[in-house]
């Protein structure tokens, strides 16, 4: 039992060692493979890599890169925890103003810049390569948030009836928007087309009046800003009422030019840092980048403001903007666009909406009578969704989003950037994970900005990269330790100057391959450099690394390793020692070349307390029996010895039943044990009640079986328990035997008669069938008697004609 428990503990220990060593190998392998020459290289190899700055840590033959390894492996190798460089990332929030809990009507004097809808506003992250930093971003839609709305209208001739309804839009829209916000401003602009052929007619008469003679239209133009943002609805109605319809030749309009100018001319139009809405109203399609070639315009749109006296003056010079260009400028200026278009062009603008984030499409009636409700519905749709975007990331950084929206809806990946169905006053949060994959070339910091699309507020994330260890600050430039100042001694190792190599920068690159230096890397009487297990650098062996980070070459000539020792049960040093320079250093109580000899004698103790039952020698925890008759783990088995049962059979028989070979000498020869009779076999002692107990079954001279047990009590007194009544075989019952024999004979006779009768019937039927067949096939001879003459004579009358 003790032996089994001990083996169980050994296997548990080995299993634990495999798990720990396996995990250490997996983590440490990346650190070792990095081949770090300095602490900075090490901490950039992975978040689990540490650098031992203890100058005495390295063994002979180990390279400087061995100072970089998994944290647990470094501790296992003997590096003090306070000597391990392992800087970690951190985060701080210099600006973390709470989101505004604003109620309409109670905070009219609160300026737009004082309203906070996103938290935090500024984050500082210190990033270690491969170690992500995660922080939470909170967004809450503020009630009564100011709105600027710019109405951009197509004034081509087909929109003539729409203009009449828009003339009263100002006051009506003001009245409706009061239900949403108390701070609302509106602006107005119009567009037609580029003022070159083939988009418009360039004849002098058509340039003055592009419509028919009986209609008074204004000259064509590309884009005109009619009204800067104002809160005066009557002024909007007045100026819009003064507008006139114009005309052009082709069906698509030049609306993209107008959208670009509205987006980038914010200072001239008066956009505020509030919710910005652009309503684009038209009943036609649009020109986009490349269409300008039809008019000889090949320069790409420059995305800049070109308003002079509220007119776009460079339409004949720059091409239409591309959709991607518009998306960028709308996003940069936090403008949400609403396409108010007729039913005919709904499919086109819905496809365009899919390309422009935070945009909406509404169906405009034929005369724009429903434009107010369209604007309100589109605003509610846009403001109910928040989508986070970030500026262009540095190549060294990746970012991941996870959203926590209303009603327990969570999202990851692209869905992690947004939340939908948000009402005013609702609060949602996002988990943002930032990871650095490498250090910047110049080590400078970077800045990332994250903002909700269509909102002016943003989160500024300042990134600082951990690319050097703390001990780097304490480095000694031109240290004498590094071969007369050929390197900086920092973090327990030399960082060599360019052109110098070696653990102590003792060699120049020109000296590396010289014959004199390689000679010091060979053992005496050997031609192998570094025992073929390393490289000779600067006259010193730098041992090769193996794929398994736990397997190490060491020694002056890399002649030692910790994995080529003798094995037992498939384990190096049997799992009971440590392999040092190809020899096992065994743990306590173990010896042998593979530490497979267990010196403890506990497994050799026999049941009687003697080592190997007094009949052998305990060696390595195993009994070697000296008496050839005895075998077994503790030399207690003797197959050729007379058994206990046979030895005491006659004495038990004479004392219990007064019979047997020792019946006459029973008193003299059988007094060495006490006899206890029992009624039946179940009453005999069971295993474990006595030590050295044997169960016996023997046969006497009458072929009767008797059962007994021979055991020794705690005082070493022999005790025999015997069943009172032997089991004797009973005599045969004659009558059933005779009756059975007679019945068998009769049955066999009847069976034979039946078989004979059956065979005779079959034979008779076959003979009869044969007779019948021959009878049918018989043919009798019918030949005539040669002397027989018939009594009838037939005479034919030759004259008879048959009449």
Going from N- to C-terminal start, the domains of the chain cover 93-102+112-143+388-466, 155-383, 567-598, 644-723
Helix (H) or strand (E) run with residue 686 in it: none
Burial 750-789 (b: 16+ CB within 10 A, else e): eeeeeeeeeeeeeeeeeeeeeeeeeeeeeeeeeeeeeeee
> Of 151, 166, 159, whose CA–CA distance to 345 is shortest?
159
Residues of the chain short of pLDDT 70, as ranges, are 1-29, 61, 102-110, 213, 366-368, 511-519, 549, 608, 637-642, 687-688, 690-693, 714-716, 731, 778-786, 800-803
Topology adopted by domain 155-383:
Rossmann fold (3.40.50)
CB 449 within 8 A of CB 394: no
DSSP 445: -
- 683-694 burial, b at 16+ Cβ within 10 Å, e below that, comes to ebeeeeebeebe
CA 121/CA 104 separation, integer angstroms: 24
pTM of the model: 0.59
Q: What pLDDT is attached to residue 692? A: 55
Query: Is residue 166 a contact partner of residue 474, using CB atoms and an 8 Å limit?
Result: no
CA angle 589, 591, 592 (to 5 degrees): 160
Distances (CA, A) of 751 to 304, 745, 746, 764, 779: 123, 10, 8, 20, 45
Fold that domain 644-723 belongs to in CATH: Hormone receptor fold (4.10.1240)
pLDDT value at residue 433:
95
614: which residues sit within 8 A by CB, 6+ positions away? 606, 608, 635
Tell me the C-alpha distance between 472 and 284, whole Å: 66
Can you give the pLDDT at residue 13?
41
Helix axes 255-264, 323-332, angle to 10 degrees: 20
pLDDT for residue 784: 63
Which is it for the CA torsion 80, 83, 88, 92, positive or negative? positive
Q: Is 175 exposed, middle or buried (0-12, 13-18, 19+ CB in 10 A)?
A: exposed
Right CATH for 567-598 from 1.20.1270.360, 2.40.10.10, 2.10.25.10, 3.40.50.970: 2.10.25.10
Task: Identify the CA nearest to 531 among candidates 581, 593, 565.
Answer: 581
Question: What is the Cα–Cα distance from 523 to 527, expressed in whole angstroms?
Answer: 8
Environment class of residue 415 by beta-carbon count within 10 Å: exposed (0-12), middle (13-18) or buried (19+)?
Answer: middle
Q: What per-residue confidence (pLDDT) applies to 249?
A: 81
* Token digits of residue 564: 């080529």
Q: Are 565 and 544 in contact (CB under 8 A)?
A: no
Residue 9 has a pLDDT of 39
Fold match, 155-383 / 567-598: no
Query: What integer pLDDT is reported at residue 592 of this predicted model?
Result: 85
CATH classification for the domain delimited by 93-102+112-143+388-466, as one of 3.20.20.80, 2.40.440.10, 2.60.40.1510, 3.40.50.300: 2.60.40.1510
Sheet of 674-678, strand order: 674-678, 718-723, 705-712, 691-699
């Amino acid at each position: 039992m003790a032996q089994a428990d001990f083996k169980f503990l050994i296997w548990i220990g080995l299993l634990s060692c495999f798990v720990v060593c396996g995990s250490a190998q997996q983590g440490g392998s990346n650190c070792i493979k990095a081949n770090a020459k300095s602490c900075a290289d090490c901490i950039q190899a992975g978040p689990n890599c540490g650098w031992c700055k203890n100058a005495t840590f390295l063994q002979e033959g180990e390279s400087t890169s061995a100072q970089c390894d998994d944290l647990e492996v470094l501790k296992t190798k003997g590096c003090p925890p306070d000597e391990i460089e392992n800087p970690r990332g951190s985060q701080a929030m210099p600006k973390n103003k709470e989101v505004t809990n604003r109620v309409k009507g109670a905070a009219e004097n609160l300026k737009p810049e004082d309203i906070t809808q996103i938290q935090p506003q500024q984050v500082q992250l210190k990033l270690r390569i491969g170690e992500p930093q995660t922080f939470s971003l909170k967004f809450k839609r503020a009630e009564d948030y100011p709105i600027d709305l710019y109405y951009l209208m197509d004034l081509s001739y087909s929109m003539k009836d729409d203009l009449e309804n828009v003339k009263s839009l100002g006051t009506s829209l003001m009245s409706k928007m009061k239900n949403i916000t108390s701070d609302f401003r509106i602006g107005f602009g119009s567009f037609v087309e580029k003022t070159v052929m083939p988009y418009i007619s360039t004849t002098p008469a058509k340039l003055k009046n592009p419509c028919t003679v009986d209609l008074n239209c204004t000259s064509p133009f590309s884009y005109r800003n009619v009204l800067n943002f104002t809160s005066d609805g009557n002024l909007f109605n007045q100026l819009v009422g003064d507008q006139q319809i114009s005309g052009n030749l082709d069906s698509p309009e030049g609306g993209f030019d107008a959208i670009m100018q509205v987006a980038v001319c914010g200072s001239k139009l008066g956009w505020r840092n509030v919710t910005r809405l652009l309503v684009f109203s038209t009943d036609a399609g649009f020109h986009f980048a490349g269409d300008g070639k039809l008019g000889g315009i090949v320069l790409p749109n420059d995305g800049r403001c070109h308003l002079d006296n509220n007119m776009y003056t460079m339409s004949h010079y720059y091409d239409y903007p591309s959709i991607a260009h518009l998306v960028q400028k709308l996003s940069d200026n936090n403008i949400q666009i609403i396409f108010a278009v007729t039913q005919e062009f709904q499919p086109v603008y819905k496809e365009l909406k899919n390309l422009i984030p935070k945009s909406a499409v509404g169906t405009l009636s034929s005369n724009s009578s429903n434009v107010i409700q369209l604007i309100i519905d589109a605003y509610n749709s846009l403001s109910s969704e928040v989508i986070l975007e970030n500026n262009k990331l540095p190549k060294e950084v990746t970012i991941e989003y996870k959203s926590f929206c209303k009603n327990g809806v969570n999202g990851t990946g692209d869905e992690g950037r947004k939340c939908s169905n948000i009402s005013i006053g609702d609060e949602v949060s996002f988990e943002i994970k930032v990871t650095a994959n490498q250090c910047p070339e110049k080590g400078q910091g970077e800045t990332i900005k994250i903002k909700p699309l269509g909102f002016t507020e943003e989160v500024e994330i300042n990134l600082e990269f951990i690319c050097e260890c703390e001990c780097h600050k304490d480095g000694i430039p031109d240290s004498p330790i590094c071969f007369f100042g050929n390197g900086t001694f920092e973090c327990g190792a030399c960082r060599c100057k360019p052109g110098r190599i070696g653990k102590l920068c003792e060699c120049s690159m020109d000296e590396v391959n010289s014959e004199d230096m390689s000679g010091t890397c060979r053992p005496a009487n050997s031609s192998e450099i570094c025992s073929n297990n390393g490289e000779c650098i600067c006259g010193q062996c730098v041992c090769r690394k193996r794929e398994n980070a736990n397997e190490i070459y060491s020694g002056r000539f890399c002649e030692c390793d910790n994995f080529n020792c003798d094995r037992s049960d498939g384990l190096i040093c049997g799992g009971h020692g440590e392999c040092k320079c190809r020899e096992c250093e065994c743990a306590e109580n173990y010896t042998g070349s593979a530490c497979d000899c267990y010196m403890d004698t506990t497994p050799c103790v026999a049941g009687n307390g003697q080592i190997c039952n007094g009949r052998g020698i305990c060696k390595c925890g195993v009994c070697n029996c000296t008496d050839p008759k005895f075998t077994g783990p503790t030399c207690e088995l003797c197959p050729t010895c007379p058994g206990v049962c046979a030895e005491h059979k006659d004495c038990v028989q004479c004392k219990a039943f007064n019979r047997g070979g020792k019946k006459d000498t029973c008193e003299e020869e059988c007094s060495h044990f006490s006899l206890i009779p029992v009624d039946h076999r179940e009453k005999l002692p069971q295993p474990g009640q006595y030590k050295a107990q044997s169960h016996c079954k023997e046969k006497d001279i009458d072929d009767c079986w008797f059962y007994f047990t021979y055991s020794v009590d705690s005082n070493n007194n022999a005790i025999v328990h015997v069943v009172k009544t032997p089991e004797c075989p009973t005599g045969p019952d004659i009558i059933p035997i005779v009756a059975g024999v007679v019945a068998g004979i009769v049955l066999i006779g009847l069976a034979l008669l039946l078989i004979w009768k059956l065979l005779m019937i079959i034979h008779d039927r076959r003979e009869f069938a044969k007779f019948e067949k021959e009878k049918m096939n018989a043919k009798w001879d019918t030949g005539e008697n040669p002397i027989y003459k018939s009594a009838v004579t037939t005479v034919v009358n030759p004259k008879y004609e048959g009449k």
